[in-house]
Structure 1
Amino acid sequence: MQDRPLVVVLLATHNGAAFLGEQLDSILAQRDVDVRIVVSDDGSTDATPALLAGYAADPRIELLPAGAYGSAHANFLRLIRDAPVEGAAAIAFSDQDDVWNDERLAKQLEQLETADAVSANVIAVFEDRRVLLDKAQPQRELDFVLESAGPGCTFVLSPAAFELVRHVVRTDPEAGAAPMHDWLVYAVVRAAGMRWHIDPAPVIDYRQHASNVTGANVGWRQARTRLQRMRSGGFRRQAAVVARIASRVAEGDARARLVALAALLERDDARARLTLLRGVGSLRRRASERVALAGMLLLGVW
């Protein structure tokens, strides 16, 4: 009988006991693949450590020494740096509070046959409704500077793509300053010229609750938060960090474009905004977001 492919799943936890058991069960129940879950806990003070200790009796689960990292981004960077991934056919990322479709990894491994990394849409699960989050618009040349491919909990990387990301996390001086691990991962893979596939079919139930670090960009509160971040210049500064990191893995003309774009994002003047406006078509996947970005640039809001 032929061995099943091994997928190493990187799981970051912090005070997630309320949902973690259901998440672990859904990963361990994946069809047609073998899984090894590597867990990094960020100083949990609830029942998470005890729950993990119980699950660690399963040889498919490996607990890294617990630490204090202070954010989901830092905790995932720790996993990228330190998790053992030898023998893996692919490396996947997991939040602590979702529920995976049981064929999720098998389907995404098939997609990796023609791509270097894959992600997918999700179903955002609220207390009173379920909402499809659609991130599968056609990719644009530089969309990775302003956005991720979608929730990082849907990412699956080939070993080559993961090793590139690991190298960047271990060596780039700005990796820790990137806004979120998923945005950073997407930017590194795309800037290097690797192929990324975004599947329109949802693969997980993306649970929404009061403790979400980021969560779904749905509703007026999320829209208000995003607008405030854009008006403050915070989003531009974050995008500039991503562009600089991406430029250091890109080559030739792509590197020059990213260096120039990073410099524009650091500026807040009319000339920089007009230059960004001319290239807005390459910066967002969704047409409505390209229109919105153009409007904010014209109004001087962004």
Structure 2
Amino acid sequence: MSELAAAAAALPAVTVLMATHDGARFLREQVASILAQRGVDVRLVISDDGSTDGTRGLLQSLAADEPRIVLLEPVDLGSAHANFLRLIAEAPWDGAAAVAFSDQDDVWHAERLAAQLEQLRGAEAVSANVVADYGDRRTLIDKAQAQRSLDFVLESAGPGCTFVLSARAFDLVRRTVLDDPEAADAPIHDWLVYAIVRAAGMRWHIDPAPVIDYRQHDANVAGANVGWRQAGRRLRRLRTGEFRREAAVIARIAARLADEPERSRLTSIAALLERDDLGARLALLRGVGSLRRRGADRAALAAVLLLGLW
């Protein structure tokens, strides 16, 4: 064994799952930042979903000379959520101490994975804040508020591209994705992953220190979720009932993983989320304190419930 291979073998192994779609203009920089992670032995598993911009050829070129890159057979799935579920279900990860998630268009800080592995000593999963990079300005996106007992019913722990899961937590996520009949109906993979881990009673740590430059552009699937445009989108989802139905799916999946009394509590919340009447809104209003992390978000949730906008 070469000295380089021996040094890599002594480092903790981390499998990184990346979903791509028409990301050729960003991929070289993102992949380079992942492979340059210090203090860990990285394997990058990539699934491409229907790219037509040269992404697939670029990935093949990158993988040709880099044994740490594993390409799954290209597919046509139609959404980032479906692509990440495919990665969760199919990616090889044997021997990994942890599994991380990656978007195709960010830039990781060099110590990101090493720092988050240290945090996994006291938790089963970790996430972190990000710096949203708009090109002409940079803004901290703060998701590190104190967790609430049921915040996972209505929100994720932040961007999924900051998630790192222990082997135990990822095994549970994989089994749930494979076995739960509603996993494919969940709205987005990061919200689902957060709910699975939290509902099972595992500890999740949200680090206030940013770990990636979160590039914002016109092709973002979700993005930083700040500003008037995103606020308008959230309000439309509330008024049409889309968000309520999505949360009900998450609550039902979580209920099947939770022990009592949380299982009964989640089952009741799922039933309330399926309804659109004053009684259901008042019942949810009584539990607002457990459903959102930020005080402003709890106040906003109470307001839309009282006004019937939910």
User: What residue is the counterpart of 2:272 in the other structure?
Assistant: 264
Of 36, 39, 48 in structure 2, the residue corresponding to residue 32 of structure 1 is 39
- Count of aligned residue pairs for this structure pair: 302
2:236 is the counterpart of 1:224: no
Of 73, 76, 95 in structure 2, the residue corresponding to residue 65 of structure 1 is 73
Of 128, 139, 157 in structure 2, the residue corresponding to residue 149 of structure 1 is 157
User: What residue is the counterpart of 2:170 in the other structure?
Assistant: 162
User: What residue is the counterpart of 2:204 in the other structure?
Assistant: 196
Of 111, 118, 122 in structure 1, the residue corresponding to residue 119 of structure 2 is 111
Of 77, 98, 104 in structure 1, the residue corresponding to residue 106 of structure 2 is 98
- Matched residues in 1 for 2:219 and 2:72: separation? 23
- Matched residues in 2 for 1:221 and 1:190: separation? 30
- Matched residues in 1 for 2:92 and 2:108: separation? 22
Residue 56 of structure 1 aligns to a residue whose secondary structure is: helix
User: What residue is the counterpart of 1:284 in the other structure?
Assistant: 292
User: What residue is the counterpart of 1:53 in the other structure?
Assistant: 60
Of 214, 218, 226 in structure 2, the residue corresponding to residue 210 of structure 1 is 218
TM-score, normalised by the number of residues in structure 2: 0.97
- Matched residues in 2 for 1:249 and 1:115: separation? 18
Deviations 1:174-213 (A, max 9, x none): 0000000000000000000000000000000000000000
- Matched residues in 2 for 1:242 and 1:199: separation? 24
- Matched residues in 2 for 1:49 and 1:231: separation? 39
Report the Cα offset of residue 127 of structure 1. 2.5
Query: Gaps spanning 5+ residues in structure 2: where?
Result: 1-6
Deviations 1:39-84 (A, max 9, x none): 0000111110111011112000000001111100000000000001
Residue 224 of structure 2 aligns to a residue whose secondary structure is: coil
Report the Cα offset of residue 128 of structure 1. 1.8
Residue 248 of structure 1 aligns to a residue whose secondary structure is: helix
- Matched residues in 1 for 2:283 and 2:88: separation? 36
Deviations 1:1-49 (A, max 9, x none): 6700010000000000010110000000000111000000001111101
Deviations 1:80-111 (A, max 9, x none): 00001000010000000000000000000000
Residue 226 of structure 1 aligns to a residue whose secondary structure is: helix
Deviations 1:96-143 (A, max 9, x none): 000000000000000000000000000000022101000000000000
Query: Gaps spanning 5+ residues in structure 1: where?
Result: none
Report the Cα offset of residue 252 of structure 1. 1.0
User: What residue is the counterpart of 2:3 in the other structure?
Assistant: none
Q: Which amino acid aligns with 2:118?
A: E
Residue 131 of structure 1 aligns to a residue whose secondary structure is: strand
- Matched residues in 2 for 1:24 and 1:127: separation? 19
Report the Cα offset of residue 300 of structure 1. 0.6
Residue 261 of structure 2 aligns to a residue whose secondary structure is: helix
- Considering only aligned residues, what root-mean-square deviation do their CA atoms show, in Å? 0.7
Deviations 1:214-261 (A, max 9, x none): 001111100100011111110000000000000011011010000000
- Matched residues in 1 for 2:35 and 2:69: separation? 9
Query: What is the percentage of aligned positions where both structures have the same residue?
Result: 71
- Matched residues in 2 for 1:109 and 1:281: separation? 31
- Matched residues in 2 for 1:248 and 1:111: separation? 28
2:246 is the counterpart of 1:238: yes
2:143 is the counterpart of 1:135: yes
- Matched residues in 2 for 1:21 and 1:71: separation? 22
Q: Which amino acid aligns with 1:110?
A: E
2:14 is the counterpart of 1:7: yes
